[in-house]
Amino acid sequence: MIGSSDAISEISTPPRLGAVADLAPVRDHNRPVWLVLSEDGTLSRWDVAVGSHETVGVTTVPAEPDREPWNGRLLRRRLHVSHDGMFAAVVNDYGRFGEVVDLRTGEVTLFLDNQGDEEETVPFSLEFARSRGRCVVIHRTDWNRLDVSDAQTGVLLTDRSLPTPADAEAVPEHYLDYFHSALYVSPDGKRILDDGWIWHPIGIPAVWDLDQWIEGNVWESEDGPSRVGLCDRADYWDHGMTWIDSTRVAVEGLGDHDVAMRPGARIFDTSRTGRSEPPRRPTAVELLAFEGPTGRFFSDGTHLFSCGDTDLSIWAPAEGKLLGTVPGFSPAHYHPGAQQFLQLADGVVRLWTA
């Protein structure tokens, strides 16, 4: 069996970091280099292996106080970082505002506003990616619209506006009835997964091609030919989800309705499609469904890791077999380059390497 609590190490966060609000891995590093967001808005780069850290920026995203939480979703400040560690984004999950910071200069290159509308039901949609050698940021600019901007200049790369139909009461071409949610870029950087939902609330994760969207069809995220759905789950979104590799996606939950959902994982091949009934839209082929995995999902390209309230479990996603557990360890973060899991509690960092 893989996994052992004996391999967990514990270190204290450096005092100069202060209270930590969030962390994000600098993925291009094979070393455990993390970007840290402190409660006071300071951004620091921290090499956990040697204990060194340096301040690289500061954020002043509005706090959005007095928001009423929806279904237990408390507004929280969330940190994202580009793969090379040059850019950071700080956003208010279940809120409206955020910003992108160039960590080389400390300048804010892009102020983010998702325009509200059911924003308390979803994390702020944002991910970094690469396009033609530049760093780009994918971000929600309305409840049913995502855009791509150049991270360094803030220039919009997906400018578009809905065409006016001849019939004033008709739905405009490309109109999308979809509330965007958490985003996940595939390991090869070519596709994006969106854990969004439609009214009357049904979670429908969807996938489409990034290159086609940025370089070819600005409507690819709405109704482009590469867009495929995964599954429909009434009243169920914002749960565990991850790319296993550049085509397979793991989605948490067995069932088609929140009230009857069982712990488990469904594995989809996004490179193969069928048709749903109704409507007849392209859907990814489901490869396997198995009971057990719950909570947050991560993957190292081979295994599926599920993180419940108390334990980390390791699964073989091709067979649905439990390979091992790390008891008493519930990480919220994973560093793909260093293959390191991190749990933060009361100023103490607990680490386990896969």
> In which band, very low, low, confident or very high, does the pLDDT at 276 lie, cut at 50, 70 and 90?
low
User: Average pLDDT over the chain, rounded to whole?
Assistant: 94
For residue 168, the Cα-to-chain-centroid distance in whole angstroms is 37
- The answer on pLDDT for 206 being more than 70 is yes
Predicted pLDDT at 170? 85
- The answer on pLDDT for 279 being more than 60 is no
How do residues 212-228 score in pLDDT, each as one tens digit?
A: 999 999 999 999 999 99
How do residues 36-92 score in pLDDT, each as one tens digit?
A: 999 999 999 999 988 899 999 999 999 898 888 999 999 999 999 999 999 999 999
How far, in Å, CA of 272 to CA of 286, rounded?
Answer: 9
Predicted pLDDT at 167? 84
pTM for the full predicted model: 0.94
How do residues 109-165 score in pLDDT, each as one tens digit?
A: 999 999 999 999 999 999 999 998 999 999 999 999 999 999 999 999 999 999 888
Please state, in angstroms and as integers, the Cα–Cα distance from residue 46 to each residue in 23, 75, 156, 162, 253, following that order: 10, 25, 31, 44, 35
Question: In this structure, how many other beta carbons lie within 10 angstroms of the beta carbon of residue 246?
Answer: 14
